[in-house]
Chains A and B, each alone.
Chain A
């Protein structure tokens, strides 16, 4: 009986059900806007839409050679930095590495003199904390007993992933005396949800893929090189290297070099497609 039973196993392959992804959605809504969201304490996500009219209006004031950039404002310390935009891209993940930080982004043009012309600016967003909060501790008088309770949570987290180590490092450096650990990585350890998975067994197994493009080259030392129209600083030996984190899409990287007498141009086209 049992033998017959096993013979029947997986005799017929399940067929692929009919695939219907539903109607296509608008690429644009005809409204200029930029929105900022927090992914976690270290990353922000922003998406935007700029109407051709709004872009033109700003371009009129901006001189030639201006670059389209995202300006990321750290409102907690008053600093900002710029990210060059790749044409056609409509959203970006921004690595800020700043838990409990307040941010805002603007999209606009940066001219060769460093003047920024804003097209639109986003909502403000506060990144989540990644550790026990510092400050105001006097309000929560932490006694020896309470410290022990918190440490017990630490013990409960005795085994864990690399992510935990990351948090531990941060914590140990910040509040070494408490040794309290984040459960951030433990948040269900992804397991809560894995149990819901259907069909295949995927316990603890996962795959995450990112793509980082390294564009590198070499020319005569002292020559001037432009990538996507933007000047690149050469190393003393004439080499250069740029890194890009790419979302899905097609990207063109024109590379131009000149020493004042001769010029060369090579264009690299890259396509990333996640399946």
Chain B
């Protein structure tokens, strides 16, 4: 008989990247987002989960892997290019061990990278170069609950003027999950945690049982939830569960000021040899046009509030000790939190702690180690809390209060402002018009579905272009002033492609060659059921 703890900890990692695949170019800067995330987050997380499993640790967590990311992980071209990137990085790491041999401290870090890359390389090879398959295997043990997301991470509240667009994001997100995972998803990460009232009707329609919200999404529910965010609520009518984010555990990790990742012993993200070293030496490992970029090899620690040039050398052992210390601190705080909550609740509270997966490893280099230590400590060192997947939790606690969650998101200020402001509001008239046109065309030509003829293919491509344009990433990046040109271009290009296809399909003269080119270039979702857009009678 397993002892019931005083409370549960539901860690949720949200793994997402926009679909970035540029087959026309040998080297494309934004594709590095994927290679870096693979090397710094996804493979290290897989490594840690595998270790925990082998060590018999009872670790449990929920992880969303978004449909674009699933597609990228399984894309042959991106896999080849990732290996090419990996080869070069390993070559550079090897050279670095030589270059630094007269400086003991630097050399220690260089050797750490070399060994780390070799280990991840073995992991990659031993899993048949199929990282998604490897995550799936772990999910089959029940310790890891992989959930889906909107098809291309569309910000649903801003698409709701045509709800077919919202439904398609959900339905296609479920379809893609099923294709890659071979089973139905039970949970979803609503893109940007953005919920608007009644969007759960589409979740219920496609078999989704739960989603995660920002704190106030649950706190401001109607009626007021009696346990705050420490128990899920059920949406009225659909009974889809909404889990609210815990504030304390969020701050401990997220906050730039007081969060663990800012510790002075941790690795500094912004000092990279791609910028630091002599140009001729580093040239083969940066942008072919000579633009300096991050290589992933970084020798410095955060040190303190000092200029980048004043950063001290990183010590991997010391950083690892810190990660273990922070894991202990995090566990202790959750224990105290749960003890206190439990004394005021008639059931065990659940602390839901969602994070961007890429925070762990990519931004917070020691993040995967932190998680590893945390799961081990929770397993071995105490009995107050246990980790849980959100699915496991719902199976244990199927009775929950019914309340309507509040319109909210996890973006800055908690609503839609990040994705709808003076910098990016120009996107929406086009997205909305395209959604209307999609409904129009699919309704008109619904008899062509599945025939694989030119009309069916063109409409399928229209759906791809529309979905790709809807990624919330573009509006977000434009607002943040990061990769603005690329995000603008992607939005405009997909809309432009969509509009041209629309004219062609309606005009009955589809440019076959151009269509084939688009199918090759924007190849996300090889199978796509566009009937979801057909207007209801």
Contacts and interface: CB of A to CB of B under 8 A. Distances in A.
Interface of A: 1-2, 5-6, 8-12, 14-15, 17, 19-26, 29, 31, 35-41, 43, 45, 47, 49, 91, 123, 126-133, 135-137, 139-143, 145-146, 148-150, 152-153, 156-157, 163, 180, 182-201, 203-204, 247-248, 274
Interface in B262-309: 270, 275-279, 287, 289-293, 309
A187 B420 contact: no
- Enumerate the 9 nearest inter-chain pairs by beta-carbon distance, A residue then B residue, closest first: A184-B414, A190-B412, A128-B407, A22-B492, A22-B489, A183-B215, A187-B414, A145-B344, A40-B415
Given A129-B406, A196-B358, 18 more contacts: A8-B277, A22-B492, A23-B496, A31-B433, A35-B161, A128-B406, A129-B222, A140-B403, A149-B228, A157-B247, A182-B219, A182-B414, A191-B256, A192-B410, A193-B476, A195-B261, A196-B480, A197-B480
Interface in B475-521: 476, 480, 482-483, 485, 488-493, 495-496, 499
Contacts of B254: 188-189, 191-192, 195
A141 B430 CA distance: 46
B416 A37 contact: yes
A193 B222 CA distance: 29
Given A38-B407, A40-B415, A146-B227, A186 B215 contact: yes
B256 A39 contact: no
A36 B425 CA distance: 12
17 contacts: A17-B291, A38-B407, A38-B415, A132-B224, A133-B221, A133-B224, A133-B406, A142-B224, A152-B341, A183-B215, A185-B413, A187-B412, A188-B214, A190-B413, A198-B482, A199-B482, A203-B256
Given A183-B247, A201-B270, A1 B102 contact: yes
B161 A194 contact: no
B112 interface: no
Interface of B: 29, 102-103, 106, 157-158, 161, 197, 214-216, 219-230, 245, 247-248, 250-251, 254-257, 261, 270, 275-279, 287, 289-293, 309, 340-341, 344-345, 355-356, 358-359, 363, 401, 403, 406-418, 420-423, 425, 428-430, 432-433, 476, 480, 482-483, 485, 488-493, 495-496, 499
Contact of A22 (B340, B416, B490): B490
Contacts of A47: 425, 428-429
Contact of B309 (A9, A143, A149, A156): A9
A182 B220 contact: yes
A188 B410 contact: yes
A197 B482 contact: yes
Contact of B412 (A182, A193, A195): A193
A38 B157 contact: yes
Nearest to B427: A25
Nearest to B261: A195
B226 A142 contact: yes
Given A182-B216, A189-B254, A49 B476 contact: no
B291 A15 contact: yes
A187 B413 contact: yes
A38 B496 CA distance: 26
A136 B222 contact: yes
Contact of B422 (A35, A123, A186, A274): A274
A144 to B, nearest CB: 8
Contact of A186 (B106, B247, B416): B247
Contacts of A26: 430, 499
Contacts of B102: 1
Nearest to A23: B496
Nearest to A31: B433
Contacts of A188: 214, 250, 254, 410-412
A27 B416 CA distance: 24
A166 to B, nearest CB: 11
B216 A183 contact: yes
A149 B277 contact: no
Contacts of A35: 161, 428-429, 432
